[in-house]
Amino acid sequence: MDGPAGKKRKTVAHGRHLPEWERQTGEYAGWIKASLKGQRYSFCVPCGMSIEVSASGFCDLSKHFETKGHQDAVSRMKSYAVTKAEVLFCQFVAEHNLPATIADHFSELTKEMFPDSEIASVLSVRKGAGFSDQHFNLNKEEADEDGDEDGDDTASLRWKVHAAKMPDEALRVCLKELKRLKKMSQSMPEYARTRNYLDLMIELPWSNNTKDSLDIQAARTLLDNDHYAMEKLKRRVLEYLAVRQLKDSLKDPILCFVGPPGVGKTSVGRSIAKCLRREFHCIALAGVCDQSDIRGHRRTYVGSMPGRIINGLKTVAVNNPVFLLDEVDKLGMSWQGDPAAALLEVLDPEQNHSFTDHYLNVTFDLSQVLFIATANTTATIPTALLDRMEVVWVPGYTQEEKLEISNRHLIPHQLEHHGLSPQQLRIPPKTTNDIINRYTREAGVRSLERNIGAVCRAVAVKIAEVTGGSDPMEGTDIHLHFPTGAVTKNGPSAGVTIVTCLASLFSGRLVRSDVAMTGEITLRGSVLPVGCIKDKVLAAHRAGVKRVILPRRNEKDLDELPLKVRYDLDFVTADDLDQVLNAAFDGGFPGKEKKQEAKQQIKQ
């Protein structure tokens, strides 16, 4: 690389090296780490080495590389033209959203180093701009604030415009607008309009794209996994993808899926994007009757906006997404122009590399966008538009297909959507068939999916009722104290009695006064057998108790009891706590009942 005084620099034109720079930008992500220390610049270069150069030394970077012995970096640096360094400089400042004062300093420095380069004129030069410590903070927020305070953010905007990698025509327009912006007062409505325009131009994915990855075998599996039946459509989509793989051409006809609502047209479009690993964006055309919906309003209009195509590109932030033009058969027409005509331009491979949105007023290349259209009928698609497209019919489903689609896709999808597990809700085929026959009347499966969703919602409420609700035990610590000196036999066999007391305490309900009980209880609520049943039952009988609750495994001990006692008492044997509580409280224990009821309903 020549120094600033080298001859080569003077002969290199700024614009000529842009394409090379664009190709190589990825390599220089390392520059982002650059930081400023006083009047010296410290750069982290791609090989991970950090160099420090003074303002005057910056222009002779190659020397620094050489003295450090990093041959790799040296050879890379040598491949730069001086212009390239300038452009990187420009990009670096843009990426860091540098405060205006720093940008100005860069600008003066660049001017000094590259007096005849375009870059110096690109930068705003403000004489006497100070370089104070607080300006060296590269924190983005602070930089933004700084810009706002200054009221002069055109310098950073200029850097961003340069970094947006737009074609020359668009760049020229932006620079012109920037020039105008600089002369305007911020209070002028025109200022906001121009600013919005420039922001959009910066945001548009002029050169951003995703790399296609097309594996036909994987695409076939993906399509099969996502969709049941629709063999014809899947075959045509695979053919389409295969041809694209072989020919790498985008001038194929536009596929238009035509069929009743809910047969999976949109869903297949989404899968195509997934197969190609492209971004997906759906443009709803139903009811669009103004061509500016597609092509934008001219900026002279108040409240003008770009059209849906440009908006979609801004949303996906890449220039090669899959755009699904949904419901082309429902395009309207009015005195505001024919949107179908605008669409024709969008879909025509001969024209769409230079699509002009009225708002942008510069061309945008749509040739990398993959368009797919959907419609319910071909009858209302404008003929010229229909001519550009290849219609693929998507028929409705049979009862059996609907059942299979429900089991494989709709039910699992709805369960997940409602946060339910397959254990919590199982819809038997008979129920699905009933929903199909008695609650829906359609060719597709959209209502069916909605009805399954309704079932999921109802079950979700039931489950939330059982598992949710305020926990009466929350924030409560229970300490049970058995004073020594009590009857020594009181041991584990008081388990069920203690739990019953606690249940009464927390539910606020009274236990029947004529009940006696015994039984050991495990942490999971199983009731285990205990000893001395005969003594305990006789004592209960003496005390006038009417009902005795005891472990089921103690049932055999009842044989030892006198007949009279057995006749007088009502014995309830229990395996688990639920049965104990149900017998101990009048009318059963509500918690359990509710749970059972909910479980029952879930099963149904």
Q: Which runs of consecutive H residues, i.e. helices, occur in 116-258? A: 118-122, 140-150, 154-163, 168-183, 189-203, 216-226, 231-247
**Interacting stretch for ligand ADP, rule CB under 6 A, among 224-232, 484-492, 535-543, 593-601?**
224-232
Quickly count helices (H) and strands (E) in the chain: 27, 15
Q: Which residues are catalytic?
A: 493, 536
Query: Residue 249: how many CB atoms within 10 A of its CB?
Result: 9
Closer to ligand ADP by CB, 43 or 228: give it: 228
Pick the closer one to ligand ADP by CB: 194 or 407: 407
> Does 261 help bind ligand ADP (rule: CB under 6 A)?
yes
> For the window 527-556, what string marks contact with ligand ADP as x by the rule CB under 6 A?
------------------------------
Q: Rank residues 197 and 397 by Cβ distance to ligand ADP and give the closer one.
A: 397
- Residues 323, 313: contact at Cβ < 8 Å? no
The residue with tokens 């929903």 is: 435
Size of the residue set binding ligand ADP (CB under 6 A): 18
| Interacting positions 365-384 with ligand ADP (CB under 6 A) | 374
| Near ligand ADP in 474-503, by CB under 6 A | none
- For residue 374, the minimal CB distance to ligand ADP (Å) is 6
- Residue 263 makes contact with ligand ADP by CB under 6 A: yes
Give the C-alpha separation, 321 to 228, whole Å: 25
Q: Which residue has the tokens 């670096």?
A: 92
- Hey, what are 345's tokens? 């331009």
Nearest to 276 by CA among 213, 368, 356: 213
| CB closer to ligand ADP out of 328 and 503 | 328
**Residue 414 has which token pair?**
């709805």
Helix, strand or coil, per DSSP, at residue 547: strand
Binding mask 394-433 for ligand ADP (x = CB under 6 A): -----------x---x------------------------
Residue with smaller CB distance to ligand ADP, 262 or 321 = 262
User: Looking at 446, 509, 534, 546, which residue binds ligand ADP (CB under 6 A)?
Assistant: 446
Binder to ligand ADP among 4, 262, 296, 339 (CB under 6 A)?
262
**Residue 550 pairs with which residues in a beta bridge?**
573
Q: Angle at the Cα of 547 (from 541 to 551), degrees rounded to 5?
A: 100
Exactly one of 99, 264, 296, 339 binds ligand ADP (CB under 6 A); that residue is 264
Q: Which residue has the tokens 């035990």?
A: 473
- Binding segment (CB under 6 A) for ligand ADP, from list 81-89, 211-219, 444-452, 584-592: 444-452
Does 242 engage in binding with ligand ADP (CB under 6 A)?
A: no
DSSP secondary structure string for all residues of 198-236? HHHHHHS-SS--PPP---HHHHHHHHHHH-SS-HHHHHH
What is the Cα–Cα distance from 13 to 23, expressed in whole angstroms? 18
Residue 266 within binding range of ligand ADP, rule CB under 6 A:
yes
CB closer to ligand ADP out of 200 and 443 = 443
User: Under the rule (CB under 6 A), what is the footprint of ligand ADP?
Assistant: 227-230, 261-267, 374, 405, 409, 444-446, 449
